[in-house]
Chains A and B, each alone.
Chain A
């Protein structure tokens, strides 16, 4: 009888020791890949890239394109997971608390580091300090478009727009995808420098704002060029300028705003990849090299360019310098616009 009694039927002997043994064995097994980890066999299991925005946006597009190529390159799945919310903070916080082993990465929109710490307070700043840049992928400047039918039908250039606004008798309105976005900061900077009055109309997304621009209910739109380009091609809106210091190679016909307002510019909105602080530098280097390799591939280039995103190859050091410069610029604009701390999610 005793031999067929189930495990642990007799109290206090075989089961606890067996359980203890299997726990030890299991935890050893779990620890094994971590301890044996080096850049040489990375990645030896699937890698998760968390995109802190909804599917379909710029960050999502560049990260999914990169993940597809990385999966083929390493014959190891790179999974893209969307964790949207709180201007990217929910996904960013999740990754910042993940194990720094290179198997959880963050699709890294620039605002996580350059804007959120200054508007969402110390908690957001702490998250931004627990992430390290790995590689840039693609970015674009901000574009400015106006309605072509209403009161501004004679406005053909960015200089015309400034002149029109100066002499306007009714307030000139501009739409953006929200308060404290880079678009909002740029519009405020232009208004300050040119000493004009612009009324901000925030929207939940650029495509909502575009509808009201086409319908003539707002006068100006500040946003990503990819969103307004089709309407511009159809002659329903007019794109006037881009925010970068030089012309944007994918829209070479548009002048820079600094041609009209010297020293006014807004650095491109970049989308890259970041890793939790403490990730082995060898893994970061390896990922950066791989990303640079795939950014040179024609299919990636064409995916990016169709979305008016410029592929941004570069070393880890170059990307780190770039995010720091962007942060410095945005911090200055936020302070100058006197936006201050408004939302404080802890």
Chain B
């Protein structure tokens, strides 16, 4: 019953009017920046950090946390409506979400994203409260060998992400891998693919690339046909999901939540990776798998549940160990230090009101988000009626402002331009972007952990199979590879691809 008294303490803190107000402010801001493509939680929190100096530590962390998980809600909105992920973790939601919108089902898609996120948020909050400490041990037991094997699973399953030609999907993964390796080799400090440019020495900006290949390329495609938009508007029917839709959301939401909760704990882009993995898993296990890529509601539910669960469980290592699992959490650590709290294993004992207050506020924040988001669906859908001549320049401007603000760098604007052009050309050649993006993310991590594992093991490659977690992951990768390359499935995929044309 210690849990109940802890949660009681948490809610008593979270329900204080000041904390409630900052929770609302954070989630509202998060929703807004989530909707705006390019502007992410990292840049927003960095900009708002100085403004939190005057607040109490609890209020400031509650607000900053609200921005982070709020942005995961908002990120799906533009992904569904205009095929432009508002946040990188919503990239995979574009696949089926946008198809649903094209079939006039933007409302149910948005509702599915919101409801799944709320479900995942509730479960993840409970999870943090119950098992924060034991789960932390998982994060600690993940070393370079385990990460390497996890990345292999991710890469193999990314082939399944493609709905078209496997050959093209592999080409796109490789292109992503290579571009992802741009920058400075962390083991020798040798520059790679930088052409002597200082701006490229830390690699290509992920946000700029993702917004470019998905968003800008999509806008250019839409501009080709002047009337491309009309059918969407004509068919907007029913804002809320039907009983059948709701039933189909249950399984994916649960599976997405489990995947997101587990991957979110791991350092390095947990929420992002989890949305891809959840989508792939759903595509394999769903009995409606033929619908995937054509507007399956499962393809919206699962990744949205996963990214929200992942965003919330990524607080676990930060709160219980002081170890940030991503850049946003690193900023939260900074915010705690500024407030005079030393992040680390002792926070839960020294500052129980902060620890439990933050957890309780996450649930309240999720409740606020669903209340905020469901009535807004009508407004978002009506965005589709805005004429392209007004909408496109506005989106482009927001994209550019967003990528610029990440590092106050004009170079990022050039990157988004180049990525947009390349994405457009590749789309014309029927090459798909999700495998490319996954290669881009996983490639550098794969290399980093492979080389680190080899250095630590003095060059002994058996380390990947002698460590149990790593071995299990590699077995999963082999199974996935077999499933993907089975001839029957490969044929079926080709048929699906042909039908699409």
**Residues on A facing B (Cβ under 8 Å):** 54-57, 60-61, 64, 68, 80-86, 89-90, 93, 119, 123, 170-171, 173, 178-180, 199-205, 207-208, 210-212, 214-215, 217-218, 226, 229-231, 233-234, 236, 302-303, 306-307, 342-346
Contact = CB atoms under 8 A, between A and B. Distances in A.
B334 interface: yes
B267 A173 contact: no
A234 B344 contact: yes
Given A211-B140, A345-B191, A202 B186 contact: yes
Interface string B105-144: 0000000000000000000000000000000000111111
B334 A56 contact: yes
Contacts of B345: 230-231, 233-234, 236
A303 B338 contact: yes
Contacts of A233: 342, 344-346
A61 B334 contact: yes
Contacts of A61: 334, 337-338
Given A85-B199, A231-B345, A343-B184, A55 B337 contact: no
A229 B131 CA distance: 25
Nearest to B343: A230
Contacts of A119: 189
Of the listed residues B187, B343, B344, the one surrounded by the most CB atoms of chain A closer than 10 A to its CB is B344
Given A56-B330, A60-B334, A90-B199, A82 B342 contact: no
B175 interface: no
Contacts of A55: 46, 49, 331, 334
B408 interface: yes
Contacts of A229: 342, 344
Contact of B455 (A60, A201, A306): A201
A82 B407 contact: yes
A342 B190 contact: yes
25 contacts: A57-B334, A64-B338, A82-B46, A82-B407, A83-B407, A84-B407, A86-B199, A93-B198, A170-B458, A173-B455, A200-B455, A201-B456, A203-B186, A211-B139, A215-B143, A217-B144, A226-B337, A230-B344, A233-B344, A307-B337, A342-B188, A343-B201, A344-B191, A345-B191, A345-B197
Contacts of B330: 54, 56, 205, 207
Contacts of B456: 173, 201, 217-218
A179 B331 contact: no
Given A60-B334, A207-B323, A208-B267, A217 B143 contact: yes
A234 B320 CA distance: 11
B218 interface: no
Interface in B285-331: 321-324, 327, 330-331
B341 to A, nearest CB: 9
The 6 closest A-B pairs by CB, nearest first: A230-B344, A56-B334, A234-B345, A345-B198, A86-B201, A346-B196
B140 A214 contact: yes
A63 B190 CA distance: 30
A63 to B, nearest CB: 11
B491 to A, nearest CB: 43
Interface of B: 46, 49-50, 53, 139-144, 184, 186-191, 194, 196-199, 201-202, 267, 321-324, 327, 330-331, 333-334, 337-338, 340, 342-346, 407-409, 448, 452, 455-456, 458
Contacts of A231: 321-322, 344-345
A87 to B, nearest CB: 8
B134 to A, nearest CB: 15
Given A83-B409, A207-B323, A230-B344, A68 B50 contact: yes
Nearest to B141: A215
Contact of B346 (A200, A204, A234): A234
A32 B199 CA distance: 34
Contact of B331 (A56, A85, A208, A343): A56
Given A86-B202, A199-B455, A302-B340, 12 more contacts: A55-B46, A68-B50, A84-B407, A90-B198, A203-B186, A217-B143, A217-B456, A218-B456, A303-B338, A342-B188, A343-B201, A345-B196
Contact of B191 (A56, A214, A226, A343): A343
A80 B194 CA distance: 28
A170 B197 CA distance: 41
A57 B331 CA distance: 9
